[in-house]
Chains A and B, each alone.
Chain A
Amino acid sequence: MAAIIAQESAPRVGHDIVASARTEWFKVLAWRIGIVAVGLTLWETASGRWVKPFWISSPSAIWAQLMAWVDSGDLWMHVEITMIETILGFVFGAVSGIGVGLALGLNKRLAAVLDPFIIAFYSLPKIALAPLFILWFGVGLLSKVVLATFVVFFLVFYNTYAGTLAVEQELVDVLRLMGASRWQIVRKVILPSVLLWIFTGMKISVPYALIGAVVGEMMASNKGLGYLIQASAGQYDTAGVFAALFVLMLIATGLHEMLKQSEKLMLRWKEDST
């Protein structure tokens, strides 16, 4: 299919299009690098001259702080803790969210009964539960994992459930007429069409898993990037706050990118030929 389209449209100008697309990409990249360079230079220049380093620190000081943490091995320890909390929270939350979402989606009676409770919990800002979880599960890893799980669960659950409601009845009917059993309809129509919704839910919940873990750490903990931010701020160490935020940003971007790639792989059929 792709080959046919390529033959129709590409023969003479194809190469030029590829080449100009590449040039365009290089231009975009050059602009991005330029923006970062100018931004960092301005920041470095402003710091100490126009604005006190106490407020904005400086790129060089932040870099020095980062290197110091790397050398002492502190950085890895904190990153590891935050990552474990985030990933565990994400996995537990996503698995339970998908499970409960499908269970309610396939069982209308149960869904009708539980609806008001679900809405009530869904509307609650989950972060507000952090003190309670710390009270219950202590200042260690568990309370953060539970908080992240809770946040992720509702996002994934709600998307999964909405997905089951959005399954096109006509698709189901066509298969019923072909003699499909209930289970076959679930497997061949409902699950694949809900998959897109599940992915959306998972994708939006990744940053929230991180938020859950970090907020938990900021409230009560002695490890993790949230703790690092909180502790640095407590010591008026602006460079430390920025350094920890920078690492957090890298992690969040990395997670997002990973999920985007896996979604692309799983939902190949979504791509259009045009």
Chain B
Amino acid sequence: MTPLIEYRGIARRFTTRRGTVTACENVDLTVNDGEFLAIVGPSGCGKSTLLNMAAGLLQPSAGAVFYRGAPVSEPNTRVGYMTQRDTLLPWRSVEDNVAIALELRGEDRATRIGTAHNWLHRVGLKGFETAFPSQLSGGMRRRVSMARTLAYEPETILMDEPFGALDAQLRLVMHDELLKLWAATRTTMVFVTHDLTEAITLADRVAVFSARPGRIRAIETVDLPRPRDVFRIRFDPRFGELHDKLWGYLEESVRDGVMVG
């Protein structure tokens, strides 16, 4: 597989009133075409920073990020980004939110509404096409975000703790839907989370980060077969082994994090 995204010797420092904070350093990481990569680490270890760099919204302080071999120096329009916070446009109906990327490309209304409806049905939101985001629950808004990101078929999708605000049961449902949709599209996914179980459930590979300054502790291939049953896979013995192994790395980071923070 060819590397799609390549982080080479990345460091990122932020200047605050209390001095310079190093979010991450010495990060070397490649994301392969078509894979589902999860990045796990304690809060504040610069995971989101890495996504922002791949999206071209943030430049590294040292090193460089390459996308298909070219350095990323401006907003990268080949990636779709689903952030932790809601970025739906509140004044647009659900269907117009999902259709927005197609609208920007100049597709006619019938085409884009058709595509939007198709995706809304796939994420289980039939009947809510003309509702406004403020009328939906948190979980439904996440689904709209997911539909919006998938609807314009970006080459790569970056997800920054997309289900962090949902309750445990709803998260499982969303994992199930995400994996089904991903199986159909096989878009490259970079998924940031602080939840190791979520990472192993979803990903082909998991990269574990240390507490700030974030560095890669380990990268592990998840050799669980697909399609995966997200509701039961936690009880698979192989899942347990992987979880134990990766938790070993993460535990140190979490303890370090407590010491530092």
Contacts and interface: CB of A to CB of B under 8 A. Distances in A.
Pairing of A with B: yes
Interface of A: 1, 4, 168, 170-171, 173-181, 184, 188-189, 192-193, 195, 267-273
A192 B75 contact: no
Given A173-B75, A175-B100, A272-B135, A1 B85 contact: no
- List the 6 closest A-B pairs by CB distance, nearest first: A273-B135, A179-B77, A1-B131, A178-B101, A176-B75, A269-B132
Given A176-B77, A178-B100, 13 more contacts: A171-B87, A173-B75, A173-B81, A177-B79, A177-B154, A179-B77, A179-B104, A179-B105, A188-B103, A269-B134, A270-B134, A271-B134, A272-B135
B132 A177 contact: no
A58 to B, nearest CB: 51
A170 B91 contact: no
B170 interface: no
Contact of A189 (B75, B83, B89): B89
Contact of B81 (A177, A267, A268): A177
B118 interface: no
B75 A177 contact: yes
A178 B131 contact: no
Contacts of A176: 57, 75, 77
Contacts of B93: 269
Nearest to A266: B91
Contacts of A271: 132, 134
Contacts of A175: 100, 104
Interface string B104-139: 110000000000000000000001101111110000
Quick one: which of B81, B83, B85, B92 has the most chain A CB within 10 A?
Answer: B81
Contacts of A267: 91
